[in-house]
Structure 1
Amino acid sequence: MALSNIEPQVIWKNFSKLNEVPRPSKKEEKVIAFIKTFGENLGLPTTVDEVGNVIITKPATAGMENRKSIVLQSHLDMVCQKNNDVTFDFETQGIQMEVDGDWVKAKGTTLGADNGLGVATIMSILESTDIPHPELEALFTIDEETGMTGALGLKPSQLKGQILLNLDTEEDDEIDIGCAGGVDVTVSNTYATENAKGETVKIEVKGLRGGHSGMDIHKGFGNSNMIIGRLLYKGLENQNLQVISIDGGSLRNAIPREAIAIVSVKNANEFLATLETLKNEILEEFVAIEAHLQINITVAESTGKAISEEDSKKLIYVLKSLHNGVYRMSPDVPDLVESSNNVAKVELKEGNLKILNLSRSSVDSSKDSVAEQLKCVSELAGMTVEMSGSYPGWKPKPGSEIVQIMEKIYTEKFGDKPHVVACHAGLECGIIGANYPAMEMVSFGPTIRGAHSPEEKANITSTQKFWTFLKEILANIPQK
């Protein structure tokens, strides 16, 4: 890793140390221990709460004791995605990083800049001896990416801070003051299986960009599960078929990049001919935005038992009907996605079906509407639908004192006005704010591209700008 000479060196040093520690969501034991040891080695009061959040407190620097107290917050876990041709174990290996021009990226995997750069920045403030700041609480939460259980498990009495600075936004010219809530919608069923009656065909979709299922949902990126559904539906045009298996996508908050379906058909050549035109049409549809998309449809060896033709038809109809993408744009905030759904993972194996969705919205009633549509479609096909992990959105307060201070600092330091926005990602601020309604909250961060995908990269110049901005904010926190 050639990161040692990049400015600000303290952040990249801490980010490099952090990225040596495996930290998949729900498997954060090693990184919790790492951060706990970090705080204790600094001689700062350090606690781990009952769900695994780490809280490190630091007194105000001289002359700053009368300022409002601050909570600096980032999450410890990272999305673990890799390219198919990369051998990598996220549970045992550290991220392999490299510098590419003005960007830091990983070698075929997610980088973990989301939210590792935020964590590294807080570590840098905690160990500093020359940065003015009020009394600080550093809050490192767990499991943000797959359930926000850390934020949900945070007790109302644990924090004393009056202003929360969340360092989990991915555009350096944005000051985020609101976000979407979400709910996990899981569709499942168990089918009887039988010996396949015909010839086996493999449909493979790969090479899509993927991305963040909130921040990127409006960009028109391909969803491998939706493309598989279109192809299978077209295959029903001239003959019935039996689905043997489907394996598409992985995490709810990542737009799926790859999917494979194995089916049995009566006439493979006719099936391939039926799909050829649609295949070329899909490639043409996405040529401008998915330059590396591949769709391979080939005759294959049989790889297991199939579900019946009737059950296969119902499953394909559901895949074709599930809503994916933007559901509604906000009528109140220009260019903001209000509601969406990501059909994140489809798995049919030995007759056991699971379809994982993540529905998001900044309006709870609209979030419910998206989830209910998924439920209705799936239950009509005899499937079971479970809704879980619901979390609230974060309602914007554009006139708050900290937002006004940050706007003023940004304009003076960088010569332009920042964008004060709400985002379609799920930030922990909404959950934390439910227990701390009087706390002012804002989110900001350095520019990161391709989060939740192996294309993730962090901008070096932007990180310098972010560091300058944060230090200036801490020096100008208002009086109590």
Structure 2
Amino acid sequence: MNDEIRALEPRELWNKFADLNEVPRPSKKEERVIEFIKKFGNGLKLETEVDKVGNVVIRKPATPGMENKKPVILQSHLDMVHQKNNDTSFNFEQQGIDMYVDGDWVRAKGTTLGADNGLGVATMMAILESKNIDHPALEALFTIDEETGMTGAKGLEPGMLKGEILLNLDTEEDDEIGIGCAGGVDITASGTYQEEEVLAGVAAFSITVRGLTGGHSGMDIIKGLGNANKLMNRLLYRASEELELRVAEINGGGLRNAIPRESEAVVVIDEMQVKVFKAEMDKAVEAIKTEFSTLETKLSISIEETKVPENVMNLLSQEVLLKTVYAAHNGVYRMSPDIEGLVETSNNIAKVEVKEGNINIKCLTRSSVDSTKEDLANSLTAVFELAGYEVEKSGDYPGWAPNRNSDILKVLDELYQKMNNEKANIAACHAGLECGIIGQHYPDLDMISFGPTIRGAHSPDERASISSAQKYWKFVLEILKNIPQN
């Protein structure tokens, strides 16, 4: 499996990526990949340490002539987002990723690829294994659980690392040098409702929204892509305003850091209103498809008759739910007034689940400004609490404030221009990088982020550019040669 990937150049990078992708590594389930990296370090007879939360650090001495350079920390996260298409049968806890080459892209068959942040991990492995790459003293920091809480970075203990410069390999545009990122907070609203028995003389329908692009709930939020939970709620709200529609269950979205691509609801309608219901839904679907005709070319909304359920939500709870999801903000909340084109604050309504008397709504709120993150979080909390739901805020993590006077930034900026005859895009990103948290533990670290071009992260459309990986690999090697002196 993946032999064509192993034949790609640079082979040392793609072979390590293929090795890594044979190991199951979904977030929160990293036991196998931790052991894999530990064995890798020990097999190279390099100092290897696993901390109490599962982060792995492998240390490699400087190559001859590089001993006087500042020591460097290479950093990437081991876990990957586990998303698959509904028609794909795949167990992320048991199977390795099945990859293939599509022109200039490496893709996976129906699942996320894991290039985020697997190509960074593979880079570190290749450098640790190498015998002909010049580098200063290295600490390779492999963190866990970046995608669903950053608990690895949060659990990193002061004193474990000795490096002075941190190279984070988790940026997804090869012409970008990252100098800042957004922080985030998880918001979970939960409630209950009374179920009512379905009476005779009704028909039931399954409404399914699928085929949306999805993607990274930070990096892709600016694109205005469709959110399956908001679109489903729009359909249900319209039908319930016009007809005696009753909701039996809703299951939309999944991971907080992925824009939801799919949602399914089961509803009940009076048999006498079925014709009107179908006509109203046709109008609503047509309007949505017209609005998203440019952005969501594969959007599919189906409405099919199904088995009548035993119970539905009581009417008051249904009305409150649909109005609450309508009122809750989704998408860009504020653009940065300081950096052109950068989203400052946003929210992703990632999951809406209604079933058997329970309501669960999950959001991820991001911002590069803590006060604005708190403002939006408070706004969402107010909406959910007005609905009578309990609200929990968790997983709060800080952003990474840009430092334009960084010494390592100057090195990367000059090298990129020299190697590519163009200026790099020096920018902050609307995503959660571990630099902000690591910087709390090690405030004197000089940090920078860069990486190869990856598209569609956090979705089954994730793909990594082969030509970009070649460009990135050369860049990494030159950076290591040009680390400043102590």
**How high is the TM-score relative to the length of structure 1?**
0.99
Match of 2:231 in 1: 227
Residue 283 of structure 1: CA displacement?
Answer: 0.4
CA contact (8 A) 2:240 2:246 kept: no
Q: How far apart are the structure 1 equivalents of 2:84 and 2:135?
A: 39
CA contact (8 A) 2:107 2:462 kept: yes
Q: Deviations over 1:157-176 (max 9, x none)?
A: 11111000000000000000
Match of 2:450 in 1: 444
Match of 1:46 in 2: 48
Aligned match of 2:207 in 186, 203, 206?
203
Residue 190 of structure 1: CA displacement?
Answer: 1.4
Letter in structure 2 aligned against 1:70: V
Match of 2:304 in 1: 298
Q: Deviations over 1:36-70 (max 9, x none)?
A: 00000000000100000000000011111111110
Q: How far apart are the structure 2 equivalents of 1:5 and 1:386?
A: 48
Question: For residues 376-415 of structure 1, what are the structure 2 equivalents within 5 Å?
Answer: 376-415=382-421
1:422 has 2:428 as partner: yes
Residue 263 of structure 1: CA displacement?
Answer: 1.6
Q: How far apart are the structure 2 equivalents of 1:322 and 1:229?
A: 11
Match of 2:474 in 1: 468
Match of 2:149 in 1: 147
Aligned match of 2:217 in 213, 218, 225?
213
CA contact (8 A) 1:241 1:309 kept: no
Match of 1:284 in 2: 290
CA contact (8 A) 1:201 1:268 kept: no
Residue 334 of structure 1: CA displacement?
Answer: 0.5
Q: Deviations over 1:95-117 (max 9, x none)?
A: 00001111111011100000000
Residue 270 of structure 1: CA displacement?
Answer: 2.1
SS in 2 for 1:237: helix
Residue 193 of structure 1: CA displacement?
Answer: 1.2
Residue 298 of structure 1: CA displacement?
Answer: 2.7
1:138 has 2:140 as partner: yes
Match of 1:7 in 2: 9
Match of 1:30 in 2: 32
SS in 1 for 2:400: coil
Aligned match of 1:119 in 121, 136, 149?
121
1:366 has 2:372 as partner: yes
Q: How far apart are the structure 1 equivalents of 2:372 and 2:359?
A: 27
Letter in structure 2 aligned against 1:308: N
Q: Deviations over 1:141-186 (max 9, x none)?
A: 0000000000000011111110000000000000000000000000
Letter in structure 2 aligned against 1:74: S
Letter in structure 1 aligned against 2:65: G
Match of 2:107 in 1: 105
SS in 1 for 2:351: strand
Match of 1:58 in 2: 60
Q: CA 1:304 to 1:431, structure 2 compared with 1: closer, same or farther past 3 Å?
A: farther
Match of 1:328 in 2: 334
Match of 1:78 in 2: 80
Query: CA RMSD, aligned part only?
Result: 0.9
Residue 345 of structure 1: CA displacement?
Answer: 0.7
Letter in structure 2 aligned against 1:38: F
Give the share of equivalent positions with the same residue, in percent.
59
Q: How far apart are the structure 2 equivalents of 1:173 and 1:122?
A: 20
1:258 has 2:262 as partner: yes
Letter in structure 2 aligned against 1:402: I
Q: Which runs of 5+ in 1 are unaligned?
A: none
Moved over 6 A (4+): none
**How high is the TM-score relative to the length of structure 2?**
0.98
Letter in structure 1 aligned against 2:321: L
Residue 213 of structure 1: CA displacement?
Answer: 0.2
Q: How far apart are the structure 2 equivalents of 1:24 and 1:269?
A: 45
SS in 1 for 2:429: coil
Letter in structure 1 aligned against 2:212: L
Match of 2:97 in 1: 95
Q: Deviations over 1:450-480 (max 9, x none)?
A: 0000000000010011010011000010011
CA contact (8 A) 2:207 2:266 kept: yes
Match of 2:185 in 1: 183
Q: How far apart are the structure 1 equivalents of 2:238 and 2:306?
A: 19
Aligned match of 2:314 in 304, 308, 313?
308
Residue 275 of structure 1: CA displacement?
Answer: 2.3
Higher mean C-alpha deviation, range 196-205 or range 325-334: 196-205
Aligned match of 1:245 in 246, 249, 273?
249
Q: CA 1:38 to 1:304, structure 2 compared with 1: closer, same or farther past 3 Å?
A: farther
Match of 2:71 in 1: 69
CA contact (8 A) 1:200 1:268 kept: no
Residue 321 of structure 1: CA displacement?
Answer: 1.0
CA contact (8 A) 2:435 2:447 kept: yes
Q: How far apart are the structure 1 equivalents of 2:242 and 2:213?
A: 32
CA contact (8 A) 1:268 1:299 kept: no
Q: How far apart are the structure 2 equivalents of 1:304 and 1:259?
A: 21
Q: How far apart are the structure 1 equivalents of 2:266 and 2:455?
A: 33
Q: Deviations over 1:279-337 (max 9, x none)?
A: 10000001111111011123321234211011101001011111100000000000000
SS in 1 for 2:133: coil
Q: How far apart are the structure 1 equivalents of 2:481 and 2:61?
A: 14
Q: CA 1:351 to 1:35, structure 2 compared with 1: closer, same or farther past 3 Å?
A: same
Letter in structure 1 aligned against 2:372: S
Letter in structure 2 aligned against 1:35: I
* Matched residues, number: 480
1:347 has 2:353 as partner: yes
Q: How far apart are the structure 2 equivalents of 1:213 and 1:471?
A: 31
